[in-house]
Structure 1
Amino acid sequence: MNTHLIKPAALVVAAGLLAACSSGPRAPDWQFEAKGSMDRSVAAYMEGNSRVEMAELERARGQLTRSGRADLLATAELLHCATRVASLVLDEPCAGFEKLRPDATEAQRAYADYLKGRVAPQGIALLPESQRAAAAGNAGALAGITDPLSKLVAAGVLLQTGKASPAVIRQAIDTASAQGWRRPLLAWLGAELRLAEQGGNTAEAERLRRRIELTQNTPAAVKP
């Protein structure tokens, strides 16, 4: 997660993360608090704790609305939706952002469309550079992405557009596993399991079922 603070004049959507320039005068406390709440919200969701995720999201929303700026709140809503794509929750509408769409920036609207796998060709140039290859359907798009959440988002977009190769799925699994992100790990293991079953690879399917069971077998495991 980017550790810089939100600065309204420089706010951008960059790989679905809150990012900003930290130079200049100290940012107001509400910006620190909003950034911290969004960081905790993302972490909680990826770990499988929906209750904490939503509580922190509401705190962030409360802080951001103090600015009276739809574009700031839209960034938080896009980050919220990006975690869903990273975890293969692909049928959930990005309702929070859609309410703000008329007052969001053009780049934010393009990013929202990208998350649904339907960004227009002219919108690709408005996306964070790390996501443009995935938006264009390039299955090798993950190779140049270093940020874990950005990589999982790109993989999720490739999957929903039918462009995710088995290698993309394996990279997503490895990324989620390395971060200890239980929720997306289970989702991507499930995707690989379906491939193994479809291909008649019984031994691989059994191995994946054991790994899924191991991942679920913790006190804080994500409920189906």
Structure 2
Amino acid sequence: FQQRGAHEIREIRQFHFTGWPDHGVPYHATGLLGFVRQVKAKSPPNAGPLVVHCSAGAGRTGCFIVIDIMLDMAEREGVVDIYNCVRELRSRRVNMVQTEEQYVFIHDAILEACLCGDTSVPASQVRSVYYEMNKLDPQTNSSQIKEEFRTLNMVTPTLRVEDCSIALLPRNHEKNRCMDVLPPDRCLPFLITIDGESSNYINAALMD
């Protein structure tokens, strides 16, 4: 947007995060972390303060602000203090970070950011970056891509039996190629059945 004033033109950039569910918090913090980094990258040094808002301007807004502040603090000081950051925000606006679930999500997000870093690569540089990532370090006999995969395995939660309850129903056993690789209930696509009585389960997972 360009706001025309009496003597100057101001550019206003609007960012809209669409990955937050209607209830609860995102399952992964990866999308929001990428969003926060994009906002930072597109904000010039001489830009004014960010205006952050959601429906009530407290819950999701508080999460964004705390994550933004903590990412800067981690980079600048090598430490984070989520508790006192939220406490300070609440002294200025009521109910900032409204729920325990949001408070836990902030910790998950900062943990992911500190452990994994920013792994995004411009599409035009994928070939060269991939080549560099595969180079073996003679001292560790490992490569960056191996270390990234090791970190990925460390931060990825293990699915529990109750997470895959639909796949484990007796009527769906024959549809599972391997009982060690099952889709979680939250990611299932459902088939439309003609008679309404057949199983609408398929051994597949929706990826977003």
TM-score of the two chains, using structure 1 as the length reference: 0.30
Asked which structure has the greater RCO (Cα within 8 Å, sep 6+), the reply is: 1
TM-score of the two chains, using structure 2 as the length reference: 0.32
